Amino acid sequence: MNSISSPLVSVLTPVCNGAVHLAECIESVLAQTYPYWDYTIVNNCSTDDSLRIAQEYAARDPRIRVLNNDRLLSTVESHNHLVRQASPESKYCKIVFAEDWTYPTCIEEMVRVAEQHPSVGLVGAYTMDGRAVLWHGPPHPTNPVTGQEVCRGILLGGPFVLGSMTSLLVRSDLVRKQARFFDEQNPHREIAACFEVLRESDYGYVHQVLSFSRPRERSAELIARTLHTCMLGSVVVCLKYGPVFLNSAEHRRRWKRLRWDYHRVLAMSWIRRRPKQFWEFHKETLEAFGGRIDRGLLTACVIFELASRLSRPLHSAKDAWRAWSRARAEIHQEISVSR
């Protein structure tokens, strides 16, 4: 690609107390074989050396600019603020989280696929976590895949082929047209953002490992596990996007199964005496998308779970011990995180 035909890519990194890995992240952007990019790092009131590290790199390379939030934003607020900083001249956006990094040919390969197929609004690739390749990809060599097909497959419980934002390249015009790129009420906000893009574009894929993604912090994992945000997010995505990407029969079958699975999770949460805040979180999130907790189904699931445990007393005792041990570990972890 030459400078005339090569589009500008806005690379974006949010950071909040990410000094441990930030330099590695920035160096990976500087090492890109694709030269036509600008880079914005948004510091969300870090109390470590994140701001200093970012500013030192910006002083050495004019393509890097650093913004410092004047107040601490929530994660989703910070990410929405971040994507609004993409250059108006950019054709594509590339988010790279501060704890992650990209391989040298990442942007070049992704832009190549996007430019070859004008209908593509989102490009993905494989990601490593240091142990294995994460997620799946569409069958090779199919490229591109329609947005309808990708979203339909995920909604029906097929392989998850989207990855995380670090593994994606997004067309900038499809980001700019949304007031809030990430839905603050959706637990699966990254998936929802991708679905919005794929409502009017296709999905391109590079069948190569192009990025490295570290596991989430223990505190984030704890919140997801304690609040069951993964299952709730799946329900919300089905509520909002099922009618868009599935026909009525497919949506009805998928919703019936997902609704049952979700209420079984709620039943186990009731048995384990989750606090009031848990139920308020689920109730308010569902209501925001036109859903609700079915008390009759929840009662049936509680009875089913209790009957199942009573029929297997030894197994139930082991489950109770595991649940108690897990709860004790979560309490200790919560204490350590708060210190």
The pTM (predicted TM-score) of the whole model is: 0.87
Residues 6+ apart with CB under 8 A from 85: 10, 12, 40, 42, 67
| Three-point CA angle 284, 288, 293, nearest 5° | 55
In the chain, what are the domain boundaries?
9-215, 219-338
Sequence-distant (≥ 6) Cβ neighbours of residue 263 within 8 angstroms = 293, 294, 297, 298, 300, 301
Provide the CATH number for the domain formed by 9-215 in this structure. Answer: 3.90.550.10
Query: How far is it, in rounded angstroms, from Cα 106 to Cα 104?
Result: 6
pLDDT digit of tens for each residue in the chain (339 aa)?
544 479 999 999 999 999 999 999 999 999 999 999 999 999 999 999 999 999 999 999 999 999 999 999 999 999 999 999 999 999 999 999 999 999 999 999 999 999 999 999 999 999 998 888 988 888 888 889 999 999 999 999 999 999 999 999 999 999 999 989 999 999 999 999 999 999 999 999 999 999 999 876 654 555 666 788 999 999 999 999 999 999 999 999 999 999 999 999 999 999 989 999 999 999 999 999 999 999 999 999 999 989 887 876 655 555 555 554 554 454 344 334 333
Please spell the DSSP secondary structure of 83-96, one letter per residue. HTTS-TT-SEEEE-
Cβ-Cβ contacts under 8 Å for 73 (sequence gap 6 or more):
44, 45, 81
For residue 324, what are its two tokens? Answer: 């108690």
Radius of gyration of the chain (CA): 22
Separation between Cα atoms, residue 59 and residue 57, nearest integer Å: 5
